[in-house]
Structure 1
Amino acid sequence: MDLNNRRGIITGAGQGIGQAIALEFAAKGAHLLLVGRKEATLQETADLVKNAGGTSEILVQDLGQADGAQNVADAVKSWDTIDLLVNNAGNVRAGRLEESTAAEATAMIDLNLTAPVLLTQALLPQLRTSGAANGSLILNISSEIALVAMPFYAVYAATKSGLAAFGEAMRRELHGTGVHVATVYPGATDTEMMSSQNADWKRGPVSGVVERVMAGLAADEHEINATHERARGMQDLNLVDPLAVDAALAPGLTELEASVKDHNSI
């Protein structure tokens, strides 16, 4: 896939993985709509995009709101080309399910799953048109938790697994149209979203995740595992013997619950 001179949208572009992906595409001549909740962080990304060689516009938008996806679509309806959509925005609230509020569960579902579905739906006509000409890319940022669902992250795991399944289904639905659908599975990454989580999980740098993403896209990969090699053993075990994973996690449940109880980016 030719990743040069893309024209498209990156959600959650104000920091972390979203910002880093924006800079990678900027260095390849992209024009981007940077979407996020905070104008200050989006403007920071926009300045970095310019320095990297790209151009951008910003849209302050909470995609968890009912009209979020349509507002993004309206912002780019005049664009001649849309050949990139990065569904990256997300949030998390950890803890026991029965101790979580309905508002917290809904916030994760709305932003992590509903928003990417509705935004893809709204932009698909333009992505199809551009895809038929030069190839388009839909890039969904899922999570390692879609490969190994962790206790105390039930709703978050459900949303990220749902996003992965959505990508798989759309990849097959769009076969032969020129629209390439890829899903990324980052592991624990050193981002602001992880700042309130105290579990003893090794966090990789954002740069490592994005390097893997760009290499995977350049190689036309559809499923990009951006987790650290040390996590692959648990992923493989979960495929063949999930009860063995249950047994491995069981002795540390109390400690894990205590370490993630304040993990909240909503």
Structure 2
Amino acid sequence: MTIQTNGRFTDKVVLVTGAGSGIGKAAALQFAREGAAVSLAGRREAPLQEVRSAIEREGGTAIVLPADISDEHAVERLVAETERRLGPLDAAFNNAGIMGAYKPIIELTAADFDTVIGTNLRGVWLLARAEIKAMIASGRRGSIINTSSFVAEAATAGMSAYAPSKAGLNAMVRALAFEVGSFGIRVNNVAPGVIRTPMSDGLSAELYQALAAHSALKRLGEPEDVSAVTVWLCTDEARFVTGQTILSDGGFAIPGLR
């Protein structure tokens, strides 16, 4: 799926984490098509290099910076190296996250919980802190987007670690938006519904059909459905939107999860 663009990010620098696949990949490609120089981050280098090659084939600019966002020093290096190689940061999409163990709480360990929270909540907090520091230092009126989830408000059994890791982002974004608004920095979340990504590859065709039938639009989401909202939130068209969690789920959560 190719997104029609109009150069809204020409001469801008954008950092995307979790950029090797799914929603992060789709966003990185669209930012690049809109003219941005994109810093591609994630744990696995090979998929990031594939995205970089795809961007460069289309005439765009991208660099690859593998990083573990649960590592405080790695996050600081990621933002610093992005700015050293591409210039001051204008926007960031903090998309990297993990599902972790998907099973009843009585089968989970404290380490399972810590791993999910450490990446999905603490890791995004670390990224936001580093990005905000950089934007304030450069005087950029930047935009930061985090990936939340519809399960922050409508979880199912087995998500006692994942759901709170995303619900925490919904609370955090409001606090950050209020805190940094005077610097001209906006902070928002995008909350995907059921999207066709590597995280959902294990679902059966029958379950896909059942999930699609549950949504208002009668289909599951594609990565580009979410990345389009993400990119828009970073443009001047969304200049008065901050502290929000925007649900992009095709109406999946309207009738509830039952």
**TM-score, shorter chain, exceeding 0.5:** yes
Partner of 1:205: 222
Deviation string 1:46-96 (CA, Å, 9 cap, x unpaired) is 012223442111112222335331231342352541111111000013110
Contact kept, 8 Å, 1:20 with 1:210, in 2: the verdict is yes
Deviation at 1:110, TM superposition (A): 1.1
Report the RMSD for the aligned CA atoms in angstroms.
2.1
Q: Secondary structure at the match of 2:112?
A: helix
Q: Counterpart of 1:114 in structure 2: which amino acid?
A: R
Partner of 2:158: 152
The structure-2 alpha-carbon separation of the partners of 1:74 and 1:126, relative to structure 1 and needing over 3 Å to count, comes to closer
**Percent sequence identity over aligned pairs:** 29
Pairing 1:90–2:97 present: yes
Q: Secondary structure at the match of 1:64?
A: coil
Deviation at 1:171, TM superposition (A): 0.7
Q: Secondary structure at the match of 2:127?
A: helix
Q: Secondary structure at the match of 1:10?
A: strand
Q: Counterpart of 1:95 in structure 2: which amino acid?
A: K
1:7-26 → structure 2 map (5 Å cutoff): 7-26=13-32
Q: Secondary structure at the match of 1:154?
A: coil
Deviation at 1:153, TM superposition (A): 0.6
Q: Secondary structure at the match of 1:139?
A: strand
Partner of 1:196: 202
TM-score for both structures, normalised by structure 1: 0.79
Name the one with the larger helix percent. Answer: 1
TM-score for both structures, normalised by structure 2: 0.82
Partner of 2:3: none
Contact kept, 8 Å, 1:29 with 1:53, in 2: the verdict is no
How many residue pairs get aligned? The number is 233
Deviation at 1:124, TM superposition (A): 1.6
Contact kept, 8 Å, 1:142 with 1:183, in 2: the verdict is yes
Partner of 1:70: 76
Deviation at 1:232, TM superposition (A): 2.4
1:82-121 → structure 2 map (5 Å cutoff): 82-92=89-99, 93-121=101-129
Contact kept, 8 Å, 1:25 with 1:54, in 2: the verdict is no
Partner of 1:225: 247
Q: In structure 2, what is the Cα distance between the partners aligned to 1:165 and 1:52?
A: 38
> Can you give the 5+ residue segments of structure 1 that lack an aligned partner in the other structure?
235-247, 250-266
Q: Secondary structure at the match of 1:185?
A: strand
